[in-house]
Amino acid sequence: MSEVAERDARPGLSGILPDALSAWFVERGQPAYRARQVADRVWRGHARDAASIRTLPAALREQLDQAFRLDTIGATEVTVTDGGMTEKALHHLDGGAVVESVLMHYPARPESRERHTLCLSSQAGCAVGCPFCATGELGFARDLETAEIVDQARDAARRLALGGKRLTNIVFMGMGEPLLNLDRVLPAIEALNDPRRFGLGARHITVSTSGVVPGIRRLTALGPQFTLAVSLHAARDSLRDVLVPLNRRWPVAEVVEAAREHARATGRRISYEYTMISGVNDTELDGSALAELLRGDHVHVNLIPMNPVAHTPWTASPAPVIERFAAQLRAAGIETTVRGNRGQDVGAACGQLAAERAGEPPGPVVERRRRLLVEASAAALRGERSREAVPGGVGD
Ligand code: SAH
Ligand code: SF4
């Protein structure tokens, strides 16, 4: 993923605060209600350009276009899978970056209403480099702007509106590590939550992190009402060093302590994500280490069968292994759910389209990466903690 074109200097309108938009109109000798007209077309009417805002005089539409981008997404390619239940969108952003969002439809059930959940991206690529993740393989291109994050939600809402539906949930589980782009992610959450803008309840928003401890602490200080999900994938440092390379900087005990503190301060239960990789992190030893780590905490553990990703030597744990692992956790009093692997579940599918688009890396690079991962995970299973660099992106 490389950026070639010049970036557009105009800020995205969805990243602008309502008061700043009013001030912009007032500065031009216009009444403040003009800002509300624009906001209504942008947030309720899903407008993509000023030309469609017919309530504004033509000259003002032109000025608005010169000052802001009403939509920061240039083009979107949508692929529908799972019998219409999943829509993967590939968004082309300014300057050549490409990111993904995945819209998942869940029909109504006796215990829950119909849901439409969007998994969106916070960065183009990711620097963390988890070896089982398609995004990690791509490496890092750039942080997304606030408006580029919000506009993924507007794009999904626009598509849903065609069928008279609304977006009900947003999860930051697409490409990127949101806590490494908090300065843009926090204002994006504010815009998504603000009743004058996107208007989605904070409790319907989940932010997922691979364990950026200073970012978790920053969130704790703000006391947010959205859900924090922590991607654990291993309870032992030796293994987590391999699966989530950030563990070398913030080891698992520190991550869990920061999450505990967050739960104490906000009163919100923490969710832990645990991707099940066959023969790597699904052993009985791993189950007891995880149970020990979380014992007594008010948490929710989500076990996710690993989605197949090109260039890794690994596959998903078989269903009976996942069930045994879940039973082990439940026996320790930990609330645990197993996500279906329709290939469409949150996060698991994200990054793959963009990775495919990035092209096939050279064969020897892939071979070397596979070999290093097998060696590193075998050493980790023996409990050895290596200090050597773990292969992240295939292009390393
Ligand atoms: N960077 C953040 C959020 C994006 S990843 C994080 O890591 O939490 C969202 C979730 O998808 C994470 O829990 C991640 O571990 C998981 N994931 C990534 N690749 C996966 C794969 N191949 N199979 C299953 N889950 C995967
Ligand atoms: Fe980045 Fe999350 Fe993928 Fe790890 S799992 S490489 S943190 S996007």
pLDDT digits (tens, 9 = 90+) for 180-232: 999 999 999 999 999 999 999 999 999 999 999 999 999 999 988 999 999 99
Nearest CA owner, ligand 1 atom 5: 173
Specify the pLDDT at position 224: 86
Nearest CA owner, ligand 1 atom 22: 307
Distances (CA, A) of 35 to 53, 197, 257: 11, 12, 45
Specify the pLDDT at position 154: 98
Q: What are phi and psi of 359, to 5 degrees?
A: 95, 165
pLDDT by residue, tens only, the chain of 396 residues = 444 557 899 999 999 999 999 999 999 999 989 999 999 999 999 999 999 999 999 999 999 999 999 999 999 999 888 888 899 999 999 999 999 999 999 999 998 899 999 999 999 999 998 999 988 878 899 999 999 999 999 999 999 999 999 999 999 999 999 999 999 999 999 999 999 999 999 999 999 999 999 999 999 999 889 999 999 999 999 999 999 999 999 999 999 999 999 999 999 999 999 999 999 999 999 999 999 999 999 899 999 999 888 778 899 999 999 999 999 999 999 999 998 654 444 444 555 555 655 555 666 666 766 667 677 667 766 666 655 444 443 333
What are the residues facing 209 on neighbouring strands? Answer: 230
The verdict on the CB of residue 136 being under 6 Å from ligand 2 is yes
Specify the pLDDT at position 134: 87
Contact of 173 with 350, CB cutoff 8 Å: yes
Burial class (CB within 10 angstroms; exposed 0-12, middle 13-18, buried 19+) of 267: exposed
How many angstroms separate the alpha carbon of residue 317 from the centre of ligand 1?
16
Cα(286)–Cα(280) distance, integer angstroms:
9
Q: Which of 181, 208, 213, 342 to mutate to test the pocket of ligand 1 (most atoms within 8 A of CB)?
A: 208
Kindly name the residue from 119, 130, 133, 350 that is annotated as catalytic: 350
Ligand 1, residues at Cβ distance < 6 Å: 126, 132-133, 173, 177, 208-210, 231, 273, 275, 304, 306-307, 309, 347-348
Specify the pLDDT at position 372: 72
Contact of 315 with 308, CB cutoff 8 Å: yes
Specify the pLDDT at position 260: 97
Distances (CA, A) of 162 to 3, 38, 247, 274, 371: 33, 21, 44, 35, 48
Specify the pLDDT at position 345: 45
Tell me whether residue 130 is one of the annotated catalytic residues: no
> Mind listing the pLDDT tens digit for each residue in 247-282?
999 999 999 999 999 999 999 999 999 999 999 999
- Bridge pairing between strands 227-231 and 205-209: parallel
Specify the pLDDT at position 394: 33
Could you tell me where the DSSP H helices lie in the chain? 18-27, 33-39, 58-67, 134-138, 146-162, 182-193, 213-222, 237-243, 252-266, 284-294, 319-331, 352-357, 363-381
Specify the pLDDT at position 344: 43
- Bridge pairing between strands 86-93 and 98-106: antiparallel
